[in-house]
Amino acid sequence: MNESLQLLNGAIHLVLPETVLLATVCIIFFAASFLVSERGEAPEGLRHRWGMLSLLALLIAGWIGWHAPEVPHSTGPFVADGLTLFIRGLTIAVGAILVLLHWNQADDARSAESHACLLAILAGVNLVAAANDLVGMFVALELISIPTYLFLLLPRRDAPAQEATLKYFLLSIFSSAIVLFGMSYLYGATGTTNLMAIHQAFAGGSHLPHNALVAVATVMLIAGLSFRLAAVPFHFYAPDVFQGAQPSAAAMLSIIPKIAGFVALLRLMVPAAAGESAMHSWMMTPTATNLLWWLAVITMFTGNLMAFVQTDVRRLLAFSSVSHAGYMMVGLVVGMQASQQVSGIGALLFYLVAYGVMTLGAFAVLIAAARTNRRIESLDDLAGLSRTKPALALVLSVFLFSLSGLPPTVGFLGKFNLFFAAWSQGSESSRLLACLLAVNAAIGAWYYLKMIGVMYLRDPVDRSEDVRPMETPSVVAAAVCAVGTIGLFFVPGPLWSHIQLLVQ
């Protein structure tokens, strides 16, 4: 017990950025109780203070994380290797954009709890990346899930929001149970919960990949984490939750759970010291590769084909999120077994960044383009946007081009990297997977281009004058995402070089 406490105390410095975020969560919860009355009355403009405090906390956490040393080898509960630092930077950047999107989505009385839950979710993602123990990883995953329930419900408490929250809650606890069972089987097979010790056991024991307990654990872990990825058949919650929740909450669900799910799978499948034994312990068991191959194919086709028949914008983006989960799973299937130039893991991490900027940008435009009497819901609400708000229509077109994988956007590079990684592996199954990815990219382009056609080729359905000014925070978020979407196409070198260093 004393040794465990010493390891825990000695590892606190590895999670200082997350400590800052969680400390800010406590401060917000404490201070809000004094600023909001028992009847739910709050000073006007209080939400702006919480937004500024959240951005300040993210800035401080980012600064600490930027100067934090890399500690790739650790026997304690946390590790600070290159993957931890990369995910931490990505999460903080995505979190800052989400704070801008959520700025005016909750009223003054509920904004404190909303921003606190968002910061807790971001801290949970970073702790998943830093986890070096199965128990710590599960606790971090729950730190993401539990605040998410509140984040979905707090801004709106009408029937659609309640339904969305309940659906996500029930399926989330079910997936958590599956993950916990999978971890227990993995512990039973290896005799330890430490991830580094687990990977060493796989590298040293040739019998483990063919152990029945490991096969069951692998299937359950992939199934449980597929809920966070919105991979088929664990995607059923996505369209209903995206439709019923606030746009900022739907934006959060489109990217944050994917980061957490993929980084958890990488932690479980790839050693923290990714060099010596990474190739031997990759995927733990042959069951994983075959299962992920079929999940990737079915997820891509289901997401794209279901998006065809959608008339609600957010349901369309939900199925788009499903299809992009399938694209990213291609990188997970290929893993480190591709060419030296483009590995599957490198392509996956690059696509996480690309998908983050383009999907958050699309939601930012939907928030900014909302009218006085209603928000953007159906495709009809986008009709004639090029005439009423031409700048927003142009920016949204950029994001839709990127989601479809067309140049000159970062979405093109992201899909090309995944395709090249799968093709360069050389096996028949990987090249078939690359071809299916290309086919799905072509299918997906149809409904993205349809949205652009609605904005530019159709007359507005509602011809009443819109006097609602555009929200400054969402406009700023859209502009930042647009710069990232175009800029990363022309200058991808620094990001790609950094990712390559992680996977070597």
Tell me whether residue 437 is in a domain.
yes
pLDDT for the residue 278: 42
388 pLDDT higher than 90: no
pLDDT for the residue 386: 85
Buried b (16+ CB within 10 A) or exposed e, 391-407: ebbebbbbbbbbbbbbe
Q: What is the mean pLDDT of the chain?
A: 84
Question: Dmax of the chain from CA atoms?
Answer: 71
350 pLDDT higher than 70: yes
Tell me whether residue 354 is in a domain.
yes
Tell me whether residue 231 is in a domain.
no
pLDDT for the residue 119: 94
Residue-wise pLDDT tens digits, 398-411 = 999 999 989 899 99
d(CA 22, CA 16): 10
* 3-state SS record for 379-439: HHHHCCHHHHCHHHHHHHHHHHHHHHCCCCCHHHHHHHHHHHHHHHCCCHHHHHHHHHHHH
d(CA 429, CA 291): 13
Residue 206 carries which side chain, given as an amino acid letter? Answer: S
Across residues 249-266, what is the average pLDDT? 92
**How far is CA 115 from each of CA 87, 89, 470, rounded to the nearest angstrom?**
20, 19, 21
Total number of domains constituting the chain: 1
Band (pLDDT 50/70/90 cuts) for residue 357 is very high
Tell me whether residue 54 is in a domain.
no
Residue 382: domain span: 285-504
Residue-wise pLDDT tens digits, 57-87 = 999 999 988 877 777 666 678 888 888 889 9
Torsion angles phi and psi, residue 238, rounded to 5: -60, -55
Cα torsion 83, 86, 87, 88: sign: positive
Across residues 237-248, what is the average pLDDT? 87
146 pLDDT higher than 50: yes
* Crossing angle between the packed helical segments 344-368 and 82-102, to the nearest 10 degrees: 10
Band (pLDDT 50/70/90 cuts) for residue 21 is very high
Spacing of C-alpha 25 from chain mean position: 21
Residue-wise pLDDT tens digits, 311-331 = 888 899 999 999 999 999 998
Tell me whether residue 112 is in a domain.
no
Report the range out of 61-75, 112-126, 273-287, 426-440 with the highest average pLDDT: 112-126
Tell me whether residue 33 is in a domain.
no
Strand partners, 131: 78
Residue % of the chain over a pLDDT of 70: 87
Band (pLDDT 50/70/90 cuts) for residue 37 is low
pLDDT for the residue 279: 39
424 pLDDT higher than 80: yes
Q: Coil, strand, or helix at residue 312?
A: strand
Please compute, for residue 434, the number of CA atoms within 13 A of its CA located in the half-sphere on the CB side.
20
Tell me whether residue 232 is in a domain.
no
Tell me whether residue 90 is in a domain.
no
Bond preceding residue 233 cis, omega within 30 of 0: yes
Residue 277 carries which side chain, given as an amino acid letter? Answer: S
Residue % of the chain over a pLDDT of 90: 38
